[in-house]
Copies of this chain bind each other. A is one copy, B any other.
Amino acid sequence: MKKKPLSCDVWDTKTNRSKNISRFYKHKGNYTWQGIKPERYKTPGDDWAGIIRQAMIGSRGETAQFHLRYFEIAPGGYTSFEKHRHEHVVTCIRGKGEVTVGKKVHKLNFLDTLYIAPSTPHQLKNLEREPFGFFCIVNARRDKPEILNEP
């Protein structure tokens, strides 16, 4: 099934796909960008809470071998405790968070950056009263996460 164009897309009627063209995403303030729509993290479940996702790069016909996303976890929220073969690179840009990676726990503050190696169980949490926001870079082609029991 063909993907529907997003409102901000430049559509190529010959290929019926988004065009792979240069694009500028202006930060509108409050961690939102012109042309990027906040979405739900993933299908609702009881393994995660309070997360908004913004697909920055990767869903508009870009050919890069990576995707860039911005996630924001509300106070008290957390991501699934999971593992997968693909890597994560996480950089904190808003508030503070806590991340479990294998047997380690790190506090994440502004610009702290984390490389999560393949098949390492991990979970990000917001234990603070302000939103916790971070960029997350992944390979464009990647495997599905395996949800694990609580760490």
Contacts and interface: CB of A to CB of B under 8 A. Distances in A.
A73 interface: no
Contact of A22 (B57, B120, B140): B120
A112 B26 contact: yes
Contacts of A106: 24
Given A22-B101, A22-B102, A120-B22, A64 B113 contact: no
Interface string A22-34: 1111110001010
A56 interface: yes
Interface stretch (A38-46, A74-82, A87-95, A143-151): A87-95
With most chain B CB atoms within 10 A of its CB, the pick from A91, A104, A106, A115 is: A115
Interface residues of A, number: 43
Given A20-B118, A24-B106, A101-B22, A87 B113 contact: no
Stoichiometry (number of copies): 2
B57 A115 contact: yes
A116 interface: yes
Interface string A2-21: 00000000000000000011
B113 A27 contact: yes
Given A139-B65, A140-B65, A31 B111 contact: yes
B113 A57 contact: yes
B68 A89 contact: yes
A117 B20 contact: yes
Contacts of A62: 87, 115, 117
